[in-house]
Each structure stands twice: as structure tokens, then as C-alpha cells.
A and B are shown apart, each in its own frame.
Chain A
Amino acid sequence: MSEDEIREEYSILDQSRKDPQVFGLLYEKYFDRIFNFIYRQTDDEELTADLTSQTFLNALNNVGKYQFRGVPVSAWFYKIASNEVNKHYRKKKHDKVFSIEESLVRDLLDQGNDGWDEEHIQRLLNYMKDLPTDMLEVLELRFFEDKDFKEIAFILDITESGAKMRTYRALDRLRKNFNLKIKYDGKE
């Protein structure tokens, strides 16, 4: 996302402080992405709908408090969504669910790994299920949501170097067990 686009979205958010109807533009733009982001962590359609609605409602209620920090507005939505999901699991005292979509993993592997057969992919998917939540979180944001490290740091409330380190460690574990060619910055 370019600097101009980030500024443009911020100006929409700024306008919505006076006129909440304007917020609808951001709602329409990001609803699907936030919905899928939450759905991957709940695997429950109705619950996802509730949490997505709560995410946007929180954003709208706190639009006056938002401070521009050089990251896209979407990062703020992801942050609220992530907090809502964590809050839900804390309340229910359940372990967090992470559903990894096979198609996304296949897309990721197609970027630079030849000769992957079905068995390899299934093994990788099974291995990913056992990864710690914090590692899955960064992998999801980095490779499935296509976020840069600055955004990941903002969403997870960690430093940028912390986000890089976490991604590196997660990929390193995958590299040790599988012949992965993807680097932590997403390039081959």
C-alpha cells in the first residue's frame, strides 16, 4: 500500500469523526478481509459474524482516539479483531483455534518450491498444526494476509524487530523439517 493510499484512508477515517456514515467506505472495503481473518481463528461462522461486527463497532466508537502512526487503517482493524478474538477465548477459557487453509499453503509453496507432492503438503500442514500460536499468528499475517513487519508489529503490539524475529524463528522451524525455500521476508 502506497503512502498516498494510507493518507487517503486516514482522511476517510478523519472525516468519519464528524460523520459516521463515511466510515461505511472502510467497512465495505475491509469487511471480507477481517471476516476471513477472524474465521481462520474461530472456525465458526456465526461467532465470526459477531466478532467482526464487534470489531467494526469498536473501531467506529473509538474513531476519535485513533492516532496516525504510518500504518494503514486496516492494521488498526486487524489489531481490534485480534483483541476481540483473544478476549473471546479468554472468556470461554478455550484454546485458540487456527485453521490453516490448504489452498493458501499451496499458493505459498508455489512461490518457490518445486516438486512438492501431496504427501509433503499434508505433512507440512500437520506440522504447522503443532506450531505455537504466536508463530502461527505471524505466519498468518505475513504470508496469508500479506502484511509487512511494521504492520505486524502494530497489530500484535510488539516491536518491528520482534515481529521479524518471530517470523524468522517460525520459518526456521519449517525449514529444518522441510525443504522450504521461502525466506522470512517472503522472497525466495
Chain B
Amino acid sequence: MMSTGNIQRYRNYSALMHQHEQEVKMKRTFKVFLYFLIIAFVTIILLMVLRWEQKQEIKNQGAEKTEATIFTVSQPVKV
């Protein structure tokens, strides 16, 4: 067992507080970064969905046109 006098030189609460503050800051920064990542991810997903929807609309419009052409061709021609 070590005596209190010997242990005294290792006792440093201000250093511990400093380290604690640093870790709190790190944690806060990490949280902000994480929130930023989540928001960026959600935005990207939203943009991708919107783009996909736009593409689908264009595709649908194209399909309607094709159908109309087929309909015109398939009509029996009366002479």
C-alpha cells in the first residue's frame, strides 16, 4: 500500500477537469457531425426519390404516346 504522501503527486483534479472538458467538446462535435450526416443522408435520399419520380413520369408519358401510335396503326383501313 502506498502512503498518502506518495500518492499526492498523482492527484490532480484540474487536469482531470481539463480532460473531461476536452472529451465533452469532442462528444459535442461528434454529435453535430452525426446530425449533419443524418440530414445529408435524408436529403440525398429525398433527391433520389424525386428524381426517380420525375423519370417515372417521363416514362409514363412516353408509354402513353406509344400506345396511341399502336392504336392508330391497328385501325382497319376502309377503302
Contact = CB atoms under 8 A, between A and B. Distances in A.
Nearest to B12: A53
A21 B16 contact: no
B19 interface: yes
The B contact surface, by secondary structure, is helix
Contacts of B1: 36, 39-40, 101, 103-104
A48 B55 CA distance: 65
Interface string B1-21: 110100100111101110110
Interface in A21-70: 21, 24, 27-28, 31-32, 35-36, 39-40, 45, 48-49, 52-53, 56-57, 60-61
Contact of B13 (A24, A36, A40, A45): A24
Given A45-B2, A57-B19, A35 B13 contact: no
Interface residues of A, number: 23
Nearest to B23: A61
**Interface SS of A by simple majority:** helix
A20 interface: yes
Interface residues of B, number: 15
Contacts of B10: 35, 48-49, 52-53
B13 A28 contact: yes
B2 A27 contact: no
A57 B23 contact: yes
Contacts of A45: 2
Contacts of A104: 1
Given A27-B13, A52-B10, A36 B2 contact: yes
Nearest to B20: A60
Contacts of A40: 1
Contacts of B16: 27, 53, 56-57, 60
Contacts of A20: 17, 20
Closest 3 pairs (CB-CB, A-B): A49-B10, A24-B13, A35-B7
12 contacts: A24-B13, A27-B13, A27-B16, A32-B7, A48-B10, A53-B15, A53-B16, A53-B19, A57-B16, A61-B20, A103-B1, A104-B1
Interface of B: 1-2, 4, 7, 10-13, 15-17, 19-20, 23-24
